[in-house]
Copies of this chain bind each other. A is one copy, B any other.
Amino acid sequence: MITLASDFGTPYPAAMKGVLLSRSDARLVDIGHEFPRQNVTATAFWLTQVLPEFPPAVHLVVVDPGVGTDRAALAVRAGEHVLVGPDNGVLCPPARALAASSDADTDIETYEIAVDDPRSSTFHGRDVFAPAAAAVHEIGLDRLSSLETLSPVNDFVDLEFPSPEIGDTEATGEVLVVDDFGNAITNVPGEVLEGRESVRINGEKRPVVPSYAHAVEGTPIVTIGSHGNVECAVNRGRGDEAFGLAVGDVVRIRPL
């Protein structure tokens, strides 16, 4: 199985599918192609959420603002999964999440992919990463290190999500992503909400509820989202607008 994730919209993902299907009989599964455009951190966050749900697979991930520069191409084995994509950090958090969720094997091995004069300088999804993902799929996990185009590396671009500050009277974090419903998802662990009926978010008192529809329609609420973090939302509305929050904005949570 090969999954595909990108910020490409239409129709560039189809070119990657064509390349994969020309070189492999793997089942293809779209993760999505509307990841926040050129946003490595947001894409990495979403992939840490969704990839651990999958059975062992090769995950082709192309959010690649540095395409055509000398940034490397990587294949990262994490548990029974392999991620293939650019060396800009986007693969690292999902690799850790995949390794952590593996029963069998929690190792992470990182390889650089040899890139030999690709057809274009602007579309390595088609010209570098898709061929590499197909090759990785065809050779199989056990024989990965025998693939000639892969060399183990220790030096690559890592990415950590920003850490929240959890104090006695206040937690401070930021908005990591806004989903398509407008829910503003922070990096603050949901535990700070436990046992609370309401909190102050950037000074405004907001009810803490188990899910959106526990509040009257249109009410701004705070909840623990499916990711386990604090989420600012509105029942049947957009949390980002009601709270005035965008990706990267600071969120101060003050238990009442």
CB-CB under 8 A from A223, the residues of chain B are 121-122
- Closest partner residue, chain B, to A223 (CB atom): B122
Cβ of A9 and Cβ of B180 under 8 Å apart?
yes
CB-CB under 8 A from A66, the residues of chain B are 213
Instruction: Please list the residues of chain A having a beta carbon within 8 angstroms of any beta carbon in chain B.
Output: 1, 3, 5, 8-15, 17-19, 21-22, 28-35, 37-38, 46-47, 49-55, 65-69, 119-123, 126-127, 179-181, 210-214, 223-226, 231, 235-236
A28 to B54, CA, bound (A): 14
Question: Which of B11, B19, B53, B236 is within 8 Å of A19, CB to CB?
Answer: B53
A35 to B190, CA, bound (A): 29
Nearest chain B CB to A188 CB, angstrom units: 16
Contact A214:B69 (CB < 8 A) given known A17-B29, A119-B226, A180-B10: yes
Cβ of A126 and Cβ of B212 under 8 Å apart?
no
CB-CB under 8 A from A236, the residues of chain B are 38, 65
Pairs across A and B, CB under 8 Å, 30 listed: A3-B14, A5-B14, A9-B180, A10-B180, A11-B49, A13-B32, A14-B29, A14-B30, A14-B53, A15-B49, A15-B226, A17-B54, A18-B50, A18-B54, A21-B29, A22-B53, A37-B181, A38-B236, A53-B126, A65-B212, A66-B213, A67-B211, A69-B211, A69-B213, A120-B224, A120-B226, A121-B211, A122-B211, A122-B212, A123-B225
- Closest partner residue, chain B, to A36 (CB atom): B10
Nearest chain B CB to A226 CB, angstrom units: 3
CB-CB under 8 A from A28, the residues of chain B are 29
Question: Which of B9, B52, B68, B231 is within 8 Å of A213, CB to CB?
Answer: B68
CB-CB under 8 A from A211, the residues of chain B are 67-69, 121-122
Contact A54:B122 (CB < 8 A) given known A32-B11, A236-B65: no
